[in-house]
Chains A and B, each alone.
Chain A
């Protein structure tokens, strides 16, 4: 059973020569006929499949379209053509703690953040203790979030997201969370996650971490897939590309 099926997706960005952000500028532009823009294809006819239980790496140089692809999978962007089918609940880690409210306490924020991930209050109450235990922040649950350090902030976000028990995790190099010990905990958690048959999509140019956790991968170059398959050969392809 496939967790994700991506078929022939393309994504085009329009880059206007004159940035027009107001109605007034648009009307002036219409009169002057300056509606020109450049097209930039961030992704072109990309297809791949991810099986359930796989840890799937997306690698490539800067500007190769990795992040665009991840955003498309997270349904933040929409493709201009092609289809994406996703089976299961997705948690995207494009940015940890999107929607956190600094004026509210950690406790309130956990409830808000998990509702962003589609949980209701009862479900959150069940995992609540697990979140603070994992984040090691039990002492600070009633503190306002604006008084949290950035490390605590990210730990809380990561713990919440992982405890909501998604089927598919989209990870964009956010593993640099917290200190060494916490990072190890995250890796352990992700391994456990995988063993339970869950799917991880991992975007990175840190080849070492790709090598250690990914089972298969694709290599993107200028918006197209140039290699796919088991992680190791794809990484070798990438290293050749860099030369």
Chain B
């Protein structure tokens, strides 16, 4: 950790470079990146609106789920390349290599926060009010950040050795999309509930909805689940990353 602090400048610089590259054509770049999830939400809304009529505020339900999902999906699929794609910073110079993954995760965090900020007025418009619990959102999102970071470490390190991981992961991410309650209500999968909750993303998405739509404070139980999931993710991710990084320069 002290080492990461010493390199804080680099972490920030790489994050900015990442963001600049993503939104290269400034204003329009960001609008495009927002258009795609909103269009996706719109399509899902019109398809499933009648199917899931029991969900009272389906539009808000869908938006929060989709945005929370996007952070995980986009960040992990881009993190796969964060070591291999930065070859010269790995093979030619010493830096703590987890910085490359960390800065990618931070840049995605910033994009995701912007997306959430944009949907807040929409949430207000479709629900008529915003719950106070929304103030707790940053806290849980921070826990979520570490969960995503751990997964990213794991993927970035493994991809150095297994170059088909990007394709495998894309399939897995798509599978996870359908296994998480993004576009269907929780009541639709009542029977399979216990197995279903093994997916930590489900727990995160439920909490985000409670905070942003229903005004419910998460229970201690569900909070501890997401905390444990995040800690486990960072620990396992770091352990594997540290082991594998020793031969990064030879494998790239």
Q: Which of A23, A74, A104 contacts B94 (CB 8 A)?
A: A74
Q: Is the C-beta of A119 less than 8 angstroms from some C-beta in chain B?
A: yes
Using a CB-CB cutoff of 8 Å, which residues 83-128 of chain A contact chain B? Answer: 90, 92, 94-95, 98-99, 101, 103-104, 111-112, 115-121
Report the interface size for chain A: residues with CB under 8 A from the other chain: 30
A115 touches B9 (CB 8 A): yes
- With contact pairs A21-B162, A22-B162, A26-B162 given, residues A98 and B88 touching in the complex (Cβ less than 8 Å): yes
B10 touches A116 (CB 8 A): yes
- With contact pairs A95-B88, A98-B88 given, residues A74 and B168 touching in the complex (Cβ less than 8 Å): no
Using a CB-CB cutoff of 8 Å, which residues 1-52 of chain B contact chain A? Answer: 6-10, 13-14, 17, 20-21, 24
**Chain A binding site: helix, strand, loop or mixed by DSSP?**
loop
- With contact pairs A118-B6, A120-B8 given, residues A77 and B93 touching in the complex (Cβ less than 8 Å): no
B88 touches A23 (CB 8 A): no
Using a CB-CB cutoff of 8 Å, which residues 46-101 of chain B contact chain A? Answer: 86, 88-95
Using a CB-CB cutoff of 8 Å, which residues 154-177 of chain A contact chain B? Answer: none
Q: Which of B13, B94, B161, B246 contacts A112 (CB 8 A)?
A: B13
Give chain A residues whose Cβ lies under 8 Å from the Cβ of B20: 103-104
Q: Is the C-beta of B223 less than 8 angstroms from some C-beta in chain A?
A: no
- With contact pairs A74-B94, A111-B13, A116-B95 given, residues A99 and B165 touching in the complex (Cβ less than 8 Å): no
Q: How far is the CA of A112 from the CA of B10 in the complex (A)?
A: 7
A interface footprint on B220-252 (CB within 8 Å = 1, 0 otherwise): 000000000000000000000000001101100
B13 touches A76 (CB 8 A): no
Q: How far is the CB of B46 from chain A (nearest CB, A)?
A: 39
Q: How far is the CB of A217 from chain B (nearest CB, A)?
A: 24
- With contact pairs A77-B250, A104-B20 given, residues A116 and B89 touching in the complex (Cβ less than 8 Å): yes
Q: What are 28 A-to-B residue pairs whose CB atoms are below 8 Å?
A: A21-B162, A21-B163, A22-B162, A23-B162, A23-B164, A23-B165, A23-B168, A74-B94, A75-B94, A76-B93, A77-B249, A77-B250, A92-B92, A92-B93, A92-B94, A94-B92, A95-B88, A95-B92, A98-B89, A99-B86, A103-B20, A103-B21, A115-B9, A116-B93, A116-B95, A118-B10, A120-B8, A121-B9
